[in-house]
Structures are given as C-alpha cells and as structure tokens.
C-alpha cells in the first residue's frame, strides 16, 4: 500500500466560502504500535494526537472554526497503512450552517485501509441546521484483510427548528469491488424523506458499518434492535446497523448496543 506524503493544501477563504483539507496517515512504528507521521489540517480542521492504546493510534478532530458554512468545500482523508490501527474521533458535533450566498457546502471524506489494518471511524453527529445545504460524500477503500468500524449519525435540525437540506453518499469498496453504496437526502426538496418509508417523523438517523474477514465464516444474523433499529448482514464479510431515533442520545444507544452485540 502506497502512503501519500504530500501535505494538504492550505485553507483558502474566498467570497464563496472556505476551501480547506486535512490528512491523517497511520503506519506501524516497528515497536508493535502505530505512529502518526502525518497529522495535518487547515482552516476548521485542528487534528490532535491522543494517548494510544496497545497497537491502536488515536487521533481527534477539534473544530477550530464554524464549518461547514454554505459555500465551503472541505476535504478530510485518512490512510491506514498495512498492519496499522487507527481510532478517529471528534470532540463535538459538526454543525452545517447556512452561508451568506445560499450556495451549498461540500464535505468530502476519503479513507484507505491496508492489509491487516484496522480503522475505527467514530465521529460525533452531524447537525443539519435550518437553512443549511450540505452535500457529504464518503468513500472507503479496504484491502481484503482490512477491518473497519464506521459510524455516522445525522441530527436533522437543532432544538425547535426545521432541518436544512442534507444529501449524503457513502461508498465502501473491498478489494476493489463494491461492498456498500448508498445515497440519502433529507430536508427541503427531498421527496418523502420525513414519511413512514424513511424517517417516520423521527429527527435523528444513523448507521454503523462493520467489516471483518471473520464474518466470512461467522456471518451476523439479522436482528431487530428495538422498534427503530436493525442489524443486517451485507453481501460480504460485513454488517450494517440502521437506526432512527427521536434524538442523538437515543440514536447512539442503538448503535452502541449493536457494536457490543458484534463484540466491536
């Protein structure tokens, strides 16, 4: 697996928003643990090292400014090299806010996980504030022996307000082949998003994807996790948990319960 070394471009403020990128690279340190030779961010991205745990390096994103605002274009990437292990978190929720021009914001995430590598991607929720317009894309590329835990949570509107417009696309590829590809849209202009076939009136939605080669011999079983969450095996050594809930706290409980059920 080739580990990129070029730094991210510097943040650039324009009349249409902020352009900023951040990058994390995790590699084995030769002592049975994982090092972070690259931990770089600009603009709203402030990356911090946390205390490692065994083989696993830990990194945290600290929001340095309000973002994404309408018109912003943000990019975040992480590379976990062969044999490395990384846990990524954030200190607080990300809030999508309206900008001055009415232009949508873009937030692109790219994750690459090598052979015998492990990535736990566990950020805090994204909150779609009223009047905002955000397009999020996440692409994850896994080597055949890579393991992944990926969590995403969206809260549609702050207390007492309507949601903004939110469009998300999540693509997971394993060994170069599609494993999961999903696009969702909520808020103004998205047909049927609040109806019974999608959210059923709930204001928080999330999913947890676990990819583990061990599932090839011991696949998970479809399991209902209460009335609004379900654990489903995917066509591959993977499992998907999908949940809706009245608020972020209840949503997190659903996803944590599923992770414990799978011993992750």
pTM of the model: 0.91
Report the percentage of the chain scoring pLDDT > 90. Answer: 73
Q: Report the range of poorest mean pLDDT among 12-16, 138-142, 178-182, 247-251.
A: 12-16
What's the token pair of residue 121? 């991607």
- Which position has the higher pLDDT, 261 or 212? 212
Per-residue pLDDT, 200: 85
Per-residue pLDDT, 9: 43
| pLDDT single digits (tens) 106-149 | 999 999 999 999 999 999 999 999 999 999 999 999 999 999 99
- The CA distance from 73 to 1, in Å, is 28
Per-residue pLDDT, 1: 63
Alpha carbon 263 to its chain centroid, in Å, reads 20
Judge whether residue 6 has pLDDT over 60.
no
Q: Are β-strands 147-156 and 118-122 bridged in parallel, bridged antiparallel, or unpaired? A: parallel
């Amino acid at each position: 697996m080739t580990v990129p070394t070029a730094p991210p471009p510097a943040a650039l403020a324009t009349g249409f928003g902020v352009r900023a990128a951040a990058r994390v690279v995790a590699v084995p340190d030769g002592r049975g643990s994982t090092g972070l030779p690259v931990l770089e961010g600009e603009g709203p991205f402030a990356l911090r090292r946390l205390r490692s745990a065994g083989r696993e390096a830990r990194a945290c994103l600290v929001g340095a400014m309000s973002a994404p605002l309408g018109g912003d274009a943000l990019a975040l990437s992480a590379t976990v090299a062969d044999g490395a292990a990384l846990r990524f978190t954030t200190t607080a929720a990300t809030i999508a806010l309206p900008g001055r021009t009415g232009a949508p914001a873009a937030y692109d995430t790219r994750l690459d996980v090598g052979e015998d590598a492990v990535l736990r991607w566990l950020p805090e929720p994204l909150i779609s504030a009223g009047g905002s317009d955000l397009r999020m894309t996440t692409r994850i590329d896994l080597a055949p022996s890579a393991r992944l835990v990926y969590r995403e949570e969206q809260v549609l509107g702050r207390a007492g307000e309507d949601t903004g417009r939110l469009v998300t696309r999540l693509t997971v590829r394993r060994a170069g082949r599609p494993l999961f590809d999903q696009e969702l849209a909520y808020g103004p202009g998205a047909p049927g998003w609040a109806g019974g076939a999608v959210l059923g009136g709930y204001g928080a939605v999330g999913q947890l994807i676990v990819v583990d080669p061990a599932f090839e011999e011991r696949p998970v079983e479809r399991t209902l996790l209460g009335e609004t969450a379900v654990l489903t095996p995917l066509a591959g050594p993977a499992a998907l948990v999908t949940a809706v809930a009245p608020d972020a706290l209840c949503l997190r409980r659903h996803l944590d319960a599923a992770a414990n059920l799978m011993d992750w």
